Chains A and B, each alone.
Chain A
């Protein structure tokens, strides 16, 4: 039963991906053939021309910055929520989760108004900030649970052994939080990379991200082009996630070789 469920889950993921690959790299595919007669990567090279590649690289950079910024805000917020008692804690927690609790259109209009007043609307900075805000709740949610389990006990122990507050944080808490911080950043990247409507509202069409280029093609009638853009989309997201996963696996492999670099 378990194997059957796994097989069905795998099929649900692999079947659409397989279709995308077939469409993307089909050379000659006359009707009513079930599979293409030949395959070609020529359209991929055409798609990734100079300007598209530059937009793709800029999108990767801005999504990474949004994710990093969001994690930098989410980590201390999650720590405060998980480990300290203070007045208004529930309100602050609700506010931090607002970007996913409120209807997104209303929220985006609010952001647009704010950035217009700040004079940064239609800029890359505004897009990065708006993406970071949208990612924030996911980071706070995930990291609050992790902070709850790590707690302040080990830091207290480190302080009693002569560590300053910064040293205790850097040598005890941060290494323990690292896997969660990396996962949250990777998740944030994927969410930011896929933002279309928000980027359009805040960037005003002047800030071009890969999602802005891809969505019209995906919605258009050219199946091969839409399949190629979709594959690049999936490939970048999966690639970044795997990259972060690989970094962590290597980190733990080194740690398991013990000594763990502290001595």
Chain B
């Protein structure tokens, strides 16, 4: 379980998130929806221990993470820009976290092979990552994050650089893995459709503050969420008209 209590985040003297209170339950798929530049990536980094807090606290399974370095948090991050290690093969990228844990080579290979199979990349173990397509690279990044069985999987707009078909395929894969592996997942995105399709609950952020938080169905009836859902509704209506 992840709890953000009265969280304040800043870049230098500029506050980017103010007094954020959110709890994410075990095995929940939770999305934070907000426009570009509203502090979503900073929040992901703060939870992972890669950005300092200006105030408040982050609790992971009831324990305050203050002072806990990133490598001790048992979180895994999937960044928007993928961040595969270009000098390592697909297999070495996926097994990187296990290598850092000191797991023997044979065991690492076996686990990496299993994880690559789960994301549909069997047989690509020895390939250099720059020989893969964007969608395949994203799958490698996902496998690399999931192989550690993190307490919470943090997703920073991971599919924004993919085309529509790949996006849909990755969404399905992620949803399947989330359910099968019993993951707790936090997705930050500006894509309302993506959040609506994937999430158990959605929180909407706007200029430093939390506007509302509820299940996708309940959000549709909340007046305070209406302005943020308007564009998405219009898109859906246009699509229905075309069909």
Q: Do A and B bind each other?
A: yes
CA distance A161 to B88 in the complex (A): 15
Does A55 reach chain B (CB closer than 8 Å)?
no
Mask: chain B, 56-100; 1 = CB below 8 Å from A; 0 = not? 000000000000011100011101010101111101100111011
**Selected contact of B99 from candidates A156, A175, A262, CB within 8 Å:** A262
Binds A, one of B101-109, B167-175, B190-198: B101-109
Chain B residues with Cβ under 8 A from A163's Cβ? 71, 96, 100
Does A176 reach chain B (CB closer than 8 Å)?
yes
Does A160 reach chain B (CB closer than 8 Å)?
yes
Does B52 reach chain A (CB closer than 8 Å)?
no
| Contact (Cβ within 8 A) A259 B92 | yes
CA distance A210 to B49 in the complex (A): 53
CA distance A167 to B72 in the complex (A): 14
Chain B residues with Cβ under 8 A from A167's Cβ? 100
Q: A153-B79, A159-B71, A162-B71 are in contact. Are A258 and B89 (CB under 8 A)?
A: yes
| Contact (Cβ within 8 A) A153 B71 | no
| Contact (Cβ within 8 A) A262 B70 | no
**Selected contact of A172 from candidates B79, B85, B101, B148, CB within 8 Å:** B85
CA distance A171 to B69 in the complex (A): 18
Chain A: interface residue count, which band? 20 to 34
Q: A259-B92, A262-B88, A263-B91 are in contact. Are A161 and B76 (CB under 8 A)?
A: yes
**Count of residues in B whose CB is under 8 Å from the partner chain:** 35
CA distance A199 to B169 in the complex (A): 66
* Interface-central residue, A160, A163, A262, by most chain B CB under 10 Å: A160
| Contact (Cβ within 8 A) A160 B100 | no
Chain B residues with Cβ under 8 A from A158's Cβ? 85, 96, 100
Q: Which 3 A-B pairs have the closest CB atoms?
A: A161-B97, A262-B92, A159-B70
Mask: chain A, 247-263; 1 = CB below 8 Å from B; 0 = not? 00000000110111011
**Selected contact of A259 from candidates B48, B76, B89, CB within 8 Å:** B89
Does B50 reach chain A (CB closer than 8 Å)?
yes
Looking across the interface, which residue of chain A has its beta carbon closest to that of B12? A85
**Would you give 7 A-B contacts (Cβ < 8 Å), ordered by A?**
A157-B83, A158-B96, A159-B49, A159-B70, A258-B89, A263-B89, A263-B91
- Give the interface of B toward A (CB within 8 A): 45, 48-50, 69-71, 75-77, 79, 81, 83, 85-89, 91-92, 95-97, 99-101, 105, 108-109, 126-128, 144-145, 148
Closest-CB distance, B139 to chain A (whole angstroms): 16
| Contact (Cβ within 8 A) B108 A263 | yes
Chain B residues with Cβ under 8 A from A213's Cβ? none
| Contact (Cβ within 8 A) B45 A156 | yes
Chain A residues with Cβ under 8 A from B88's Cβ? 260, 262
Does A234 reach chain B (CB closer than 8 Å)?
no
CA distance A259 to B97 in the complex (A): 16
Additional A-B contacts beyond A157-B85, A163-B71 (10; CB < 8 A)? A153-B79, A158-B96, A159-B50, A159-B70, A160-B70, A160-B76, A161-B71, A161-B97, A263-B108, A263-B109
CA distance A160 to B100 in the complex (A): 11
| Contact (Cβ within 8 A) B81 A164 | no
- Give the interface of A toward B (CB within 8 A): 153-154, 156-164, 167, 171-172, 175-176, 255-256, 258-260, 262-263
| Contact (Cβ within 8 A) B76 A258 | no
Closest-CB distance, B114 to chain A (whole angstroms): 15
**Selected contact of A161 from candidates B69, B105, B148, CB within 8 Å:** B148
| Contact (Cβ within 8 A) A160 B50 | yes
Looking across the interface, which residue of chain B has its beta carbon closest to that of A164? B71
Closest-CB distance, B5 to chain A (whole angstroms): 22
| Contact (Cβ within 8 A) A160 B77 | yes
Closest-CB distance, A80 to chain B (whole angstroms): 18
CA distance A153 to B85 in the complex (A): 10
CA distance A262 to B126 in the complex (A): 12
| Contact (Cβ within 8 A) B87 A176 | yes
Q: A161-B144, A259-B92 are in contact. Are A153 and B126 (CB under 8 A)?
A: no
**Selected contact of A260 from candidates B89, B100, B101, CB within 8 Å:** B89
| Contact (Cβ within 8 A) A161 B100 | yes
CA distance A162 to B69 in the complex (A): 9
Chain A residues with Cβ under 8 A from B128's Cβ? 256, 258
| Contact (Cβ within 8 A) A258 B87 | no
Closest-CB distance, B121 to chain A (whole angstroms): 15
CA distance A159 to B45 in the complex (A): 11
Looking across the interface, which residue of chain A has its beta carbon closest to that of B126? A258
